[in-house]
Amino acid sequence: MTYLAKPKFRHPGLPKNSLGYTHRDYEGAVSTLCAGCGHDSITAAIIQACFELSIEPHRVAKISGIGCSSKTPTYFLGNSHGFNSVHGRMPSVLTGANLANRDLIYLGVSGDGDSASIGLGQFAHCLRRGVNMVYIVENNGVYGLTKGQFSATADRGSKSKRGVVNTDNSIDMVAMALQLGATFVARSFSGDKEQLVPVISAAIAHKGAAFIDVISPCVAFNNHAGSTKSFDFVREHNDAVNRLDFISSRMPIEVKYEPGSVEVVEQHDGSKLALRKLAADYDVHDRTAALGFLHQHAAKGQIVTGLLFVEKESEDLHAHLGTVDAPLNTLGERELCPGQSALDAINASLR
Amino acid sequence: MPTASNAPISSVNDFVVRFANVNGSGSASANEMFARAVMRMGIPVAPRNIFPSNIQGLPTWYEVRVSEAGHLGARGGTDLMVAMNPQTFDKDIAAIEPGGYLLYDSTKPLPPSKFRPDITVIGVPLTAICNREYTDPRQRQLFKNIIYLGVLSVLLNMDVKVLETLIGEQYKGKDKLIQPNVHALHIGRDYATLNLAPIGLQLRASDKVGDRIFIEGNSAAALGAVYGGASVCAWYPITPSSSLADAFTKHCAKLRVDPVTKKAKYAIVQAEDELASIGMVIGAGWNGARAFTATSGPGISLMQEFIGLAYFAEIPAVLFDVQRAGPSTGMPTRTQQCDVISCAYASHGDTKHVLLFPEDPAEAFDFGAEAFDLADRLQTPVFVMLDLDIGMNHRLCRPLAWDDSKKYDRGKVMTAEELEAGKEFGRYLDVDGDGIPYRTYPGTHPTKGSFFTRGTSRDRYAKYTEEGAPYVDNMQRLLRKFETAKDLVPRPLAANGAKPSKYGIIYYGSTSPAMDEAVHLIEARGHAVDRMRIRAFPFHSSVSSFVADHDFVYVVEQNRDAQMRSLIVNECGIDPVRLVPILHFDGTPITARFIARAIGDHLDQLKVTAPARTVTS
């Protein structure tokens, strides 16, 4: 269907958000990915989250690397600037963009090839710096565009479409993100919109480095028996620690769940996360315990999903650097150039 | 200059002193104080640090050229060797000019075979003096440097008040250290006055320094970035560029902090590698901030992919390349001009980049600021090509100047108002015929002016396409843009010889001071030459004209492969035989003696053997 342009027609009765935008205002070009690709579901979830949050579409900057996942920013938020950069380097481009203008929302979209192999270094360092962003890895365990090679997140023992068994250990990006100091860490599944949309919303509202690993089966190369990233496998082994309801500061607050099973987490911007706890013993604010929980369940072959960690008092790179409140890209010669008088003093000190 | 081969050199305000030390022994501040004292006496001085890739223990030298005539290039040869490193003693003795002088630590007697009969040997028992005066081993080492400074001040007739003032400035804020240092200085002075005979090298107060300042190129370039409005710096440590990022940090802390909120009007990130540093610079440039990185050759190699992206996606970026000798790790602490080709054509595919070649710190400041205007105007990476010789040595240069009425040229940026008014926006649309399209900053307008930036081909409205025609259209526009750049970048500077000449010299960057001096030496051999200093790439049309106006042009550079010559041949379509390469690439700065000998010998030979040139067109 990719040869068809999206029709401009819109239903007059489409629901509008508080800014008066409809869902359509958050869409992008028609996807050129394979029919049924998990990535398209993530695109839909991003659109849904931005619509629900009433974000002005142009206040988002979408930045990606190279690969199937990195193509997706073309398919959502058509009125946002996007930057499809180079393979594995989305984090540095996003960091620079964020330094230039702290007022935009930064959505970094990457894949497991892009972030766990060639870009592992940049993935690690942007998290440890606390760049204020939402970093989504659309994780299918496979290189799609180059026709089905294993990626570094493919589980040891999983089988490729051609029948080759992966003998390398896999990288768990969620465990790494926890270890590297990301202040918001979640894992979700492209086939679980009910979980994914509020997770993305909460990550957008989070101030600091928010990382979401979204398992996203590749219908062309990694959706067969023997794969541990197929729809069937993930559905059977998904072990959600919580279900999330996101209530932005602009929404009426109605927490309609049984007290005791619900934990409400308030973020910097006043938004609230209502966590319906599924694993009674899971503490979403305990980084160390989260790592242990993750490892124990992985050993049992279970894929832990949900909001796994959120830091209550998170900070971002701008706070660490002590930068001015105004975006640096708005400063002109008046603010930036010290002028000849300061230079006279410097000259005098150099004689 | 010596009159007979063995006669002691006699010279006022024109000689070279070389200090041979051990890295990490605290000699640097004493040696630098010596150079500053000469400058404060009004005598032009050019110091050079020759240092190893090491923190402690390896040999290091500090060379100070004193030149009343104002020659600031390296001269070659040493008139007075201050030999403080036993490890290099023999080599250091061998490097002294006939009739020169040796100052050494005579605590331990050395056999006469260690010296030369044609030099004047001055022994001072420095270790013995220090052992007598101090008990702390660290003090014994540090004050030894100040004591030899005291000895030199008497031998060379330096103004002691100047030295005392410098000590006061050096330890300002750590006032307890002033008196012991002044004391050590006088220990050296007293010893010399009592025990040593005067020597032929003398300093005499002069007025040849004028209002010039004494600054390292990296520090000046960093100030240029401050004045040019850079607000984002991302870098990765690499010699010899690290001090540029350090200087930017230091200058910003003084000049760029909001006085009320105490918040920073800048962001500096030490990245995880050079790939990340250039990635951040490109991200910031895309988002409308002025951003730069500082690096050296190996960093440029690592940044290649990103540089191609910035060229093709048309994103402003400034790169300071403080060149060192390559390839590979090469000689990390030695100077060369060896990244000319790798920067001019950096990245895969068809790429060409803007390069600026400052000659000294003052121009590093000017170009350091101008690079940001050029990058914004041309929406492309701009390289400021420094080298270790300019970057890491204090150089006497004109005072830094800024025109307060100057406004930054942010280039073609379409505003929300223009978009709202219905002005047509095509990110890669050449509306003005200069090859430069309009861009918008992210977040400008809710429904207009957004576009997708990518390294893949696209049409004039930034829409993805793999069609041949729009690809070619875009690539040709990029060439048009490069044509536009020729008239925007700093023009070459030409100077005629004393007499009309058929021969020319092209040179650039740190070769400048040696060339100023070499021209006189070449003229003294009876040859007149015209010269042109290239200050930027792409070349202005006057470069082709200069070559056309001369039978031969010597292209003088500090690399093995005649990189600038290749660039001129390639870009100006010039017959290579017209360009004679003169190449110096042993890692030391090029000298006037080298240039004058190479060109002088070639011209001598031409006079005898060259057939009359037939003009065919």
Residue B611, pLDDT score: 46
Mean pLDDT (whole number) for B17-28: 92
For residue A349, tell me if it sits in a domain. Answer: no
For B319-332, b/e burial (b = at least 16 CB within 10 A) is bbbbbbbbeeebbb
Q: To probe the interface with B, which of A6, A71, A93 has the most B CB atoms within 10 Å?
A: A93
Sheet with B120-124, side-by-side order of all strands: B45-50, B59-67, B14-22, B78-83, B96-105, B120-124
pLDDT value at A337 more than 70: yes
Task: Encode pLDDT of B524-537 as tens digits.
Answer: 999 999 999 999 99
The string of DSSP codes covering B531-597 is: EEEE-EESPPHHHHHHHHTSSEEEEEESSSS-HHHHHHHHHHT--GGGEEEEE--SSSPPBHHHHHH
- B61: nearest Cα among B3, B106, B16, B128: B16
Mean pLDDT (whole number) for B384-397: 98
Task: Residue window 117-156, chain A: list those with CB within 8 Å of chain B.
Answer: 121-122, 124-125, 129
Fold entry, domain B493-609: Rossmann fold (3.40.50)
Task: Residue window 50-69, chain A: list those with CB within 8 Å of chain B.
Answer: 56-59, 61, 63
The alpha-carbon gap from B442 to the nearest alpha carbon of chain A, in Å, equals 5
Q: State whether residue A84 sits within 8 Å of chain B by CB.
A: yes
* ipTM score: 0.95
Instruction: Give the one of A99, A331, A340 whose C-beta lies nearest to B284's C-beta.
Output: A99
Contact between chains at A122 and B446 (C-beta distance less than 8 A): no
Picking from A109-113, B393-397, B613-617, which range would have the lowest pLDDT averaged per residue?
Answer: B613-617
Q: To probe the interface with B, which of A71, A102, A343, A344 has the most B CB atoms within 10 Å?
A: A343
The alpha-carbon gap from A126 to the nearest alpha carbon of chain B, in Å, equals 9
Q: Which amino acid is at A104?
A: L
Contacts of B442 in chain A (CB under 8 A): 58, 61, 80-81, 97, 101, 104
Residue A286, pLDDT score: 95
pLDDT value at B2 more than 70: no
Task: Residue window 242-261, chain B: list those with CB within 8 Å of chain A.
Answer: 255-256, 258, 261
For residue A30, tell me if it sits in a domain. Answer: yes
Contact between chains at A79 and B446 (C-beta distance less than 8 A): yes
Task: Encode pLDDT of A159-216 as tens digits.
Answer: 998 899 999 999 999 999 999 999 999 999 999 999 999 999 999 999 999 999 999 9
Mean pLDDT (whole number) for B343-355: 98
Residue extent(s) of CATH 3.40.50.970 domains in chain B: 215-397
CA distance from start to end of chain B: 49
In whole angstroms, what is the distance from residue B163 CA to residue B364 CA?
30
- HSE-CB at B511 with a 13 A cutoff on CA atoms is 30
For residue A18, tell me if it sits in a domain. Answer: no
Q: To probe the interface with B, which of A325, A329, A334 has the most B CB atoms within 10 Å?
A: A329
Task: Encode pLDDT of A246-289 as tens digits.
Answer: 887 766 545 455 545 678 888 878 888 888 778 888 899 999 99
Q: Which amino acid is at A83?
A: F
Q: To probe the interface with A, which of B43, B216, B231 has the most A CB atoms within 10 Å?
A: B231
Task: Residue window 297-326, chain B: list those with CB within 8 Å of chain A.
Answer: 305-306, 309
For residue A73, tell me if it sits in a domain. Answer: yes
Parallel, antiparallel or unpaired: strands B201-202 and B120-124: unpaired
Rounded to 10 deg, the angle between the A173-180 and A287-299 helix axes is 160
Residue B54, pLDDT score: 85
Instruction: Give the one of A57, A101, A317 whose C-beta lies nearest to B288's C-beta.
Output: A101
| For chain B, percent of residues with pLDDT exceeding 70 | 98
pLDDT value at B616 more than 80: no
Task: Return the higher-pLDDT residue of A2 and B167.
Answer: B167
For residue A227, tell me if it sits in a domain. Answer: yes
Mean pLDDT (whole number) for B386-390: 98
Contact between chains at A323 and B267 (C-beta distance less than 8 A): yes
Residue A310, pLDDT score: 96
Which stretches within B351-467 are classed as H helix? Answer: 361-378, 388-391, 416-420
The alpha-carbon gap from A73 to the nearest alpha carbon of chain B, in Å, equals 9
Residue A273, pLDDT score: 83
Contact between chains at B279 and A122 (C-beta distance less than 8 A): yes
Task: Encode pLDDT of B193-228 as tens digits.
Answer: 999 999 999 999 999 999 999 999 999 999 999 999
Q: What is the CATH number of domain B11-202?
A: 3.40.920.10
Contacts of B275 in chain A (CB under 8 A): 89, 92, 122
Residue A4, pLDDT score: 61
Task: Residue window 361-400, chain B: list those with CB within 8 Å of chain A.
Answer: 399-400
HEC assignment per residue over B497-547: CCCCCCEEEEEEHHHHHHHHHHHHHHHHCCCCCEEEEECEECCCHHHHHHH
In whole angstroms, what is the distance from residue A62 CA to residue A78 CA?
10
Residue B90, pLDDT score: 96
CA angle A156, A162, A166 (to 5 degrees): 15
The alpha-carbon gap from B88 to the nearest alpha carbon of chain A, in Å, equals 33
Mean pLDDT (whole number) for B305-328: 97
Q: To probe the interface with A, which of B169, B404, B450, B453 has the most A CB atoms within 10 Å?
A: B450
Dihedrals phi, psi of B298, to nearest 5 degrees:
-60, -35
Average pLDDT in chain A:
91
Q: Which amino acid is at B474?
A: N
Domain count of chain A?
Answer: 1
Which stretches within A54-132 are classed as H helix? Answer: 68-71, 90-100, 112-113, 120-129
Mean pLDDT (whole number) for B36-58: 93
Name the pLDDT band for B3 (thresholds 50, 70, 90).
very low
Average pLDDT in chain B:
95
Contact between chains at A81 and B452 (C-beta distance less than 8 A): yes
Residue B610, pLDDT score: 44
Task: Encode pLDDT of A221-256 as tens digits.
Answer: 999 999 999 999 999 999 998 888 888 776 654 545
Longest dimension (CA), chain B: 89
Using a cut of 0.90, tell me whether the model's pTM lies above it: yes
Task: Encode pLDDT of A28-75 as tens digits.
Answer: 999 999 999 999 999 999 999 999 999 999 999 999 999 999 999 999
The alpha-carbon gap from A240 to the nearest alpha carbon of chain B, in Å, equals 35
| For chain A, percent of residues with pLDDT exceeding 70 | 95
CA distance from start to end of chain A: 72
CA distances from B293 to A88, A193, B296, B297, B333 (A): 20, 42, 10, 13, 20
For residue A331, tell me if it sits in a domain. Answer: no
Task: Return the higher-pLDDT residue of B17 and A283.
Answer: B17
In whole angstroms, what is the distance from residue B455 CA to residue B310 CA?
8
Residue extent(s) of CATH 3.40.920.10 domains in chain B: 11-202
CA dihedral B530, B482, B563, B335 (to 10 degrees): 90
A49 is in which domain, residue-wise? 23-325
Residue A258, pLDDT score: 54
Mean pLDDT (whole number) for A323-329: 98
Contact between chains at A58 and B227 (C-beta distance less than 8 A): no
For residue A344, tell me if it sits in a domain. Answer: no
HEC assignment per residue over B57-111: CCEEEEEEEEECCCCCCECCCEEEEEECCHHHHHHHHHCEEEEEEEEEECCCCCC
- B335: nearest Cα among B63, B139, B107: B63
- A83: nearest Cα among A101, A107, A99: A107
Fold entry, domain B215-397: Rossmann fold (3.40.50)
Mean pLDDT (whole number) for B37-55: 93
Residue A253, pLDDT score: 47
**Where residue A172 sits, what CATH number does that domain have?**
3.40.50.970
Residue A3, pLDDT score: 57
pLDDT value at A2 more than 60: no
Mean pLDDT (whole number) for B272-289: 98
Dihedrals phi, psi of B531, to nearest 5 degrees:
-145, 155
Task: Residue window 421-480, chain B: list those with CB within 8 Å of chain A.
Answer: 440-447, 450-456, 464
